Homo-oligomer: A and B are copies of this chain.
Amino acid sequence: MARQTRQRILDASLAMFNAQGEPNVTTNHIADELEISPGNLYYHFRNKDDIIEQLFARFEERMDAALAAPEGRLPGLEDIWLQLHLVFEAIWDYRFLYRDLVEILSRNRRLRLRFARILKRADEQAHAVMRGLSQGGVMRASSAELAATATNVLVIATFWLNYAAARGDKDEHQAIRAGIVQVMMLLAPFLRDAERLHLNNLTRAYID
Q: Does A103 contact B (CB under 8 A)?
A: yes
Q: How far is the CB of A61 from chain B (nearest CB, A)?
A: 19
Does A200 lie at the interface of the complex (its beta carbon under 8 Å from any beta carbon of B)?
Answer: yes
B142 pairs with A200, CB closer than 8 A: yes
Query: Which of A106, A112, A181, A189 is the most central at the interface, judged by chain B CB atoms within 10 Å of its CB?
Result: A189
Partner of A152, one of B119, B156, B166: B156
- Identity of the chain B residue whose Cβ is nearest the Cβ of A189 in the assembled complex: B189
The answer to whether A23 touches B23, judged by C-beta atoms less than 8 angstroms apart, is yes
Interfacial residues of chain A within 132-159, with CB under 8 A of chain B in the complex: 141-142, 144-145, 148-149, 151-152, 154-156, 158-159
Contact pick for A100, options B102, B145, B156, CB 8 Å: B102
- 17 A-B pairs besides A102-B165, A144-B200, A148-B203 with CB distance below 8 A are A21-B106, A100-B100, A105-B165, A105-B166, A112-B168, A113-B168, A115-B166, A142-B200, A144-B185, A144-B204, A145-B188, A145-B189, A145-B200, A151-B182, A158-B159, A158-B166, A159-B162
Chain A interfacial positions (CB closer than 8 Å to B): 21, 23, 99-103, 105-106, 112-113, 115-116, 119, 141-142, 144-145, 148-149, 151-152, 154-156, 158-160, 162-163, 165-168, 181-182, 185-186, 188-190, 200, 203-204
- Top 6 closest pairs, chain A to chain B, by CB: A148-B185, A189-B189, A159-B159, A155-B163, A116-B168, A99-B102
Subset of 19 A-B contacts with CB under 8 Å: A23-B23, A100-B100, A100-B103, A101-B166, A102-B166, A103-B103, A112-B168, A113-B168, A116-B167, A119-B167, A145-B185, A145-B188, A148-B181, A148-B203, A154-B163, A155-B155, A158-B166, A159-B162, A189-B189
